[in-house]
Amino acid sequence: MPITPPTHSVERALRKAGAEVVAGVDEVGRGAWAGPVTVCAAVTGLRRAPEGLTDSKLLTPRRRAELAPVLADWVSAYALGHASPLECDELGMTAALRLAAVRALEALPVRPDAVILDGKHDYLGAPWQVRTVIKGDQSCICVAAASVIAKVERDALLAEIGADHPDFAFGDNAGYPSPVHRRALAERGPTPQHRLSWSYLDDLPAWRHLRTRRSQDGSEQLSLGF
């Protein structure tokens, strides 16, 4: 089935309601066991998108790598925000996502009047004017652009981090629980890049004593794969 290209329809509605600057926001790394959660905020205006733009998860790694520099030059502005593994542990994922998103939005050269946020849950809240869009990374051009830039930037960051931890193959799995990653964890235990509040540690008898607890967002102690 052919992929329906994203449009500016949501952005046009927000602009019609008075928002002059609209940013698309998407995250990557929410379910990873290691590395930061990364958020990109992208402002695109209403220009025609580069050919092939869609949700980063629908693109091959090669196509994402080709498209990311094109998008970086094409967008009006973009910025990235990260929340570290320690911040994910201490704050919980919802608050960590908000922290990373605010860092990205505040790094933009112009403060957006409205934000299109991928998904159904508004983890930003006031004072930001937010429109949540389920599968916004497939349907909204500015969110799709943010998804590709965020994915490529975080993958590159994990590859850089992975040079210090070659047994974990972070350059291949981006901190997600691939078989190589799982095996290295069982043998060597978590690195400083691992999220120690995640429930995967309960399945590692030699290392479960390292698991930390937090009082908030306890339901979000994720144990997710790709």
Q: Does residue 226 register a pLDDT over 80?
A: no
104 three-state secondary structure: helix
**Rounded to two decimals, what is the model's pTM?**
0.91
**How is the beta sheet containing 130-133 ordered, strand by strand?**
77-83, 37-43, 22-28, 114-118, 130-133
Q: Which of 103-117, 128-142, 192-206, 210-224 has the weakest average pLDDT?
A: 210-224
Residue 114 and residue 106: Cα distance in Å, rounded? 13
Q: What is the pLDDT of residues 34-60, one digit of tens each?
A: 999 999 999 999 989 999 899 999 999
pLDDT of residue 224: 34
The number of beta carbons lying within 10 Å of the beta carbon of residue 129 is 15
In the chain, % of residues over pLDDT 70: 93
- Write down all domains in the chain, each with its CATH number in brackets: 9-161 (3.30.420.10), 165-219 (no CATH)
What does the pLDDT read at residue 225?
33
Question: What whole-number distance in Å separates Cα of residue 78 and Cα of residue 73?
Answer: 10
Q: In whole angstroms, what is the distance from residue 42 CA to residue 112 CA?
A: 10
